[in-house]
Amino acid sequence: MSVKETGYYDTLGVSPNATESEIKSAYRKLALKYHPDRNPNGAEKFKEIGEAYEVLSNSEKREVYDKYGKEGLQGGGGMGVDPFDLFSSFFGTGFSFGHQKRRSGPRRGEDLVHQLPVSLEDLYKGKTTKIAVNKDVICPVCNGKGSEKPDAVQKCKVCDGHGIRITIHQIGPGMIQQVQQRCDVCGGTGETIMDEYRCKKCNAKKVINERKILEVFIDKGMRWGEKITFPGEGDQAPDTVAGDVVLVLSEKHHSIFQRKGNDLFMTHNLTLVEALCGFEFVLQHLDGRQLVIKSEQNEIIKPGDVRGIEHQGMPLKESPYEFGNLYVKFEVEFPKKGQINSKNFNTLREILPNPKTPKHKLKQTDIVVELKEIQQNSKKSQRSQHTYYSQQDSDDERSTGCKQM
């Protein structure tokens, strides 16, 4: 599996292929080790561990991070919750080392991160679109209390309001195991409400699911991996500041163009006649304009040659009236066997330059061999051929200049 960067994985000491359970196990071990109440010098490390776990434990954030790295999560997609809140959420609100520090003020909810597929045309011209987001909002009937009757909400007697239960199991002679798990009576909330007093709207969940339409503005020149943030549009919860909705622009494949920075790249095939005698073709650009591309008079194009067209690349986001360049790489299609008769061969010999080396005079000791197309069955042989010609192509690219059209 290929990822852009591995920083968060390195922080937790897991590989980019780690499973959800492996990530949880790594966080559990490191969070207990570096919690400031246990390790006074571990505050910064504890924060880094929490940030890494928050991203990698969320499938959508992890997918964005794997594709675009930390940059794709900046501005709301990175550390969305307090590390102490994350610790309490993971181990339970009742877990402490005896003097766990409390953070003043309401905690911040997690961000909702979504990928928004966009085409190269959208990024070239700019676009306004609308998306629907499903999110939790505070129940308007009970105002997030779970019941319209204030005194109906009581502290859970089973877990004493902590939301977790600790059970002890004997796993061997003289060996016991202490297991911490969510309270099955209150569902981890630390509260209970009698059935007859439960809010009919949210069934005592305190929130309801709502569909909201967001208007998205894609600016000219934006890039795949960039984010568009809607502050405070994340899930709502009691005593919690709602997180953000973060949209990460993801790539839609284009059949003609490839983008690198502000420049566009494409490949165009020429016949041998066009490569030798000149060519003209029409290219439809991303905004629908028809560009007529012509070669210079008496110009000969070789396979792999690159020509550039100024100011026909992508618009610059900071200055949308300025543009990068468009680069065209040419491939030349040679005639197939049998398409040229012997008479035309003689004509070509008269027109084209003579070979650099004169024709060899055969001797009796010479061995004449014939080149043929040979199908290679050996995978090792195929790899060797691919490696050799790939290296040759790289050398050719380094020695080939780029000429402006």
CA pair distance 101, 86, nearest whole angstrom: 13
Residue 363 burial by CB count (10 A; 0-12/13-18/19+): exposed, middle or buried? exposed
Whole-angstrom distance, CA of residue 74 vs CA of residue 97 = 32
Cα angle, residue 233 at apex, residues 228 and 238 outer, rounded to 5° = 150
Cα 279 to chain centroid, rounded = 40
β-pair type (263-271, 227-230): unpaired
The per-residue pLDDT for range 87-130, each reduced to its tens digit, is: 877 765 545 554 444 455 678 888 999 999 999 999 999 999 99
Q: Return d(Cα 203, Cα 187) in angstroms, integer.
A: 13
Mean pLDDT taken over the chain: 85
- Whole-number pLDDT of residue 402: 56
Q: How many Cα atoms are found within 13 Å in the side-chain-facing hemisphere of 332? A: 17
Question: In the numeric block, which tokens belong to residue 54?
Answer: 């928050």
CA distance 272 to 391: 25
| Paired strand residues for 248 | 115, 227
Examine the pLDDT at 163 and tell me if it is beyond 90: no
Contacts with 225 (C-beta within 8 Å, 6 or more apart), sequence order:
67, 68, 71, 72, 248, 249, 250
Read off the amino acid at residue 337: K
Q: For residues 256-260, give the mean pLDDT.
A: 96
- The answer to whether residues 31 and 90 touch, using CB atoms and an 8 Å cutoff, is yes
Mean pLDDT to the nearest integer, 49-64: 88
Confidence tier at 405 by pLDDT (50, 70, 90): low
- Both tokens of 388, joined, read 């050799």
Residues near 327 by beta carbon (within 8 Å), at least 6 away in sequence: 263, 264, 265, 266, 306, 307, 308, 309, 402
pLDDT band at 67 (very low <50, low <70, confident <90, very high): confident
**What pTM value is reported for the model?**
0.63
Answer for the pair 105, 240: CB distance below 8 angstroms, yes or no.
no
Give tens-digit pLDDT for 365-377: 989 888 887 776 6
Q: Which residues contact 159 (CB under 8 A, 6 or more apart)?
A: 94, 165, 183, 185, 186, 190
Contact indicator for 324, 310 with CB cutoff of 8 Å: no
